[in-house]
Structure formats: C-alpha cells, structure tokens
C-alpha cells in the first residue's frame, strides 16, 4: 500500500512529547522524513532538554524511518528560520510545516503578569508566524506546501484563566486564514486543528473539585495518538483541495468548526444614536447574543 507522505519532508515543532510526538511518529510511518523540533522546555516554557527530541528520532529510526532532531526555539525569528533550514539541508526540500509547539502560563486575567501574556503569545502566535514565514518563500517557489497550525477551543469558544493562550490561539486562526488566502494561487494550503487530548499542558488544569477531577479523568482517556491522523491527512496530497478550514478532533470525532459570519442585522434609515441603539438595536439583537460559554459547556457530552 502506498504511504500517504512518501518521501515528503516535514517539520513538526514541539514534537518531543504528547501530540507533537505522535504526529512525528505517524508522519514517519507514512513515509515522511521528519525534523523533530523540541527544545525540551517545561510546560511553562522554562529550561531546556535535548532528550525528548532525540528519543523521538531514535524511535522513528528504530521503526525504519528517517528523522533528525532540532532544538531551536520557535519564539524568535532567527532560531525559527534555522528549523526550516535544517529540513532543507537534511532532506533537500520541505513539503509541510506542523506548528504544534506551545506553553501555558494560566492565570485569572487581573492577576496575569505581562510576562505570562507575552511569553505565551511569543511561542504560540509569533512562533507559528516565524516558522511559517521562513517556509513561505520555499513553498511559493516550488508551488506546493501545507501548513497545519494548532488552535484551541480556549480561543474558539472560551475558557477561564487563559487570556494569553486564547488570544494566541484565536490569532493563529486569523494567521492561517490569511496564509490560505494569500498563498492559494501557489497551491499552498493552510489549515488549523483544535485538539482534545491529554498532554502536559492539559495537566495544568485545576483538579480541586469532584467535577474538575471527573472532567480531567475523561480527558485523560483521549490519547494524543487520536490527533495525528488528521494532521497526516492535511499534509498529504489527498488534501489538495482542503485549505482555510478549522477542524476539532476529540477521540474518534472530527468536527468542522464554524468561522465568524454575520448572524443578523438591524437597520434604521436615519442612522443611529447611542439612545436609539439602547432602545431599539440591542433589544432586537439580544436574542442572538452569545452566552459566556466555555469549551466544556459546548462540548458537554462524553467523547466517542
């Protein structure tokens, strides 16, 4: 049987553990040559450790695949560009980017430090930009390529204590759509994946109440290996017509997520004043307001 990523060159950031590791392993099993990028930081972004990336490379090679380890940070432009350079230097080309690297620095908004906000934005949003931007001209010249970016229902729907993470993850949606629009003429694709899976980052969720403990136990059943197949698909030629989309994956479920479109409108021939907006516009629109939902309120049934 033909492998879906045979001889493709793929970069996976944050590939030393969790979801990134499973993506790297599956891409290699599907025939890709993989740059396993991971500086080996802690969940909050501190420290560094070469072992996670090296262990994934060793595992891929043990299974007969091809991979190299890379320890650069995505949070700065020059190191991020070196990740892309390593793929070209090692494998002679680049066919796909998986922007999976991430950290968490959760705090309720009024207690969130500026450093906690900026560091999360740097890794998730700026990191996705830096790596994608470094690959963009290559993809333009060869008139092919696929970007897969990781978003989250924290940004798509909402969550407590994650203003930094939510802002970054919703920003990534805008980044992906812009790449899809700008590079579609060059046969370059860009899509987002929103994963539900147990990982080190999810391990920071509070488990103080019985309800929180029960929720985390359910999430722990969702293995990161469940996320990898859609990523491998989006990197493959079979996905040549799929771009600008947002997919959520939860166990054996795949969701196509909505994107912002007008819900309803209201018109007043002579224009609006603050008073008529209060008296007329808001009462008319209010039935269509979104509630302050969190991700768990929307995905409120057990994973299948």
- Condensed to tens digits (0 to 9), the pLDDT of residues 33-60 reads 999 999 988 887 888 788 999 999 999 9
**Is 291 within the bounds of a domain?**
no
Reported as a single tens digit per residue, the pLDDT across 224-255 is 999 999 999 999 999 999 999 999 999 999 99
- Arithmetic mean of pLDDT, 128-141: 98
Closest CA to 11 of 102, 121, 86, 120: 86
Residue at 191 is within a domain: yes
DSSP code of 277?
I
- Assess if residue 111 is contained within a domain: yes
269 part of a folded domain = no
The pairing of strands 253-256 and 246-250 is: antiparallel
Domain ranges, residue 127: 9-256
Q: What is the pLDDT of residue 198?
A: 62
Do the domain assignments include residue 156?
yes
The confidence score (pLDDT) of residue 226 equals: 94
- Give the catalytic positions in this structure: 165
**169-220, pLDDT tens digit by residue?**
999 999 999 999 999 999 999 999 999 876 555 555 566 777 767 766 777 7
- Residues in the chain, how many? 304
Is residue 123 assigned to a domain? yes
Q: Is the pLDDT of residue 85 over 70?
A: yes
Prediction pTM value: 0.92
Q: Is the pLDDT of residue 66 over 60?
A: yes
pLDDT of residue 212: 67
Answer whether residue 117 shows pLDDT above 60: yes
Q: Identify the CA nearest to 10 among candidates 19, 21, 28.
A: 28
Evaluate whether residue 197 is within a structural domain: yes
Residue 50 and residue 116: Cα distance in Å, rounded? 24
User: How high is the pLDDT of residue 215?
Assistant: 66
Residue 114 has pLDDT above 80, yes or no: yes
* Angle CA 60–66–71, to nearest 5: 75
What CATH number has the domain bearing residue 216? 3.40.50.720
Counted domains in the chain: 1
* pLDDT number for residue 303: 85
Structure tokens at 237: 């030629």
Whether 299 is in a domain gets the answer no
In terms of Cβ atoms closer than 10 Å to its own Cβ (0-12, 13-18, 19+), residue 32 is: buried
């Amino acid at each position: 049987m033909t492998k879906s990523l045979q001889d493709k060159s793929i970069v996976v950031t944050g590939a030393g553990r969790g979801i990134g590791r499973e993506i790297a392993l599956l891409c290699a099993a599907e025939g890709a040559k993989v740059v396993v990028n991971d500086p080996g930081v802690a969940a909050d972004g501190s420290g560094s450790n070469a072992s996670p990336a090296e262990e994934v490379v060793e595992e891929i090679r043990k299974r007969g695949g091809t991979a190299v380890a890379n320890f650069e940070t995505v949070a700065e432009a020059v190191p991020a560009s070196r990740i892309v350079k390593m793929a070209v230097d090692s494998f002679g080309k680049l066919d796909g980017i998986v922007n999976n690297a991430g950290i968490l620095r959760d705090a309720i908004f009024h207690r969130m430090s500026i450093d906690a906000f900026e560091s999360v934005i740097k890794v998730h949003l700026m990191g996705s930009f830096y790596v994608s931007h470094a690959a963009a001209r290559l993809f333009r010249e060869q008139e092919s390529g696929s970007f897969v970016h990781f978003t989250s229902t924290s940004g798509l729907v909402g969550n407590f204590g994650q203003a930094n993470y939510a802002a970054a993850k919703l920003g990534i949606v805008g980044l992906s759509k812009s790449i899809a629009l700008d590079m579609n003429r060059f046969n370059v694709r860009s899509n987002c994946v929103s994963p539900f899976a147990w990982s080190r980052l999810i391990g920071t969720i509070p488990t103080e109440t019985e309800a929180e403990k029960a929720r985390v136990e359910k999430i722990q059943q969702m293995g990161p290996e469940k996320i990898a197949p859609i990523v491998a698909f989006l990197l493959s030629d079979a996905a040549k017509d799929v771009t600008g989309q947002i997919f959520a994956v939860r166990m054996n479920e795949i969701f196509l997520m909505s994107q912002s479109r007008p819900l309803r409108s209201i018109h007043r021939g002579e224009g609006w004043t603050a008073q008529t907006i209060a008296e007329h516009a808001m009462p008319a629109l209010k039935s269509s307001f979104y509630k302050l939902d969190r991700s768990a309120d929307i995905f409120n049934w057990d994973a299948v």
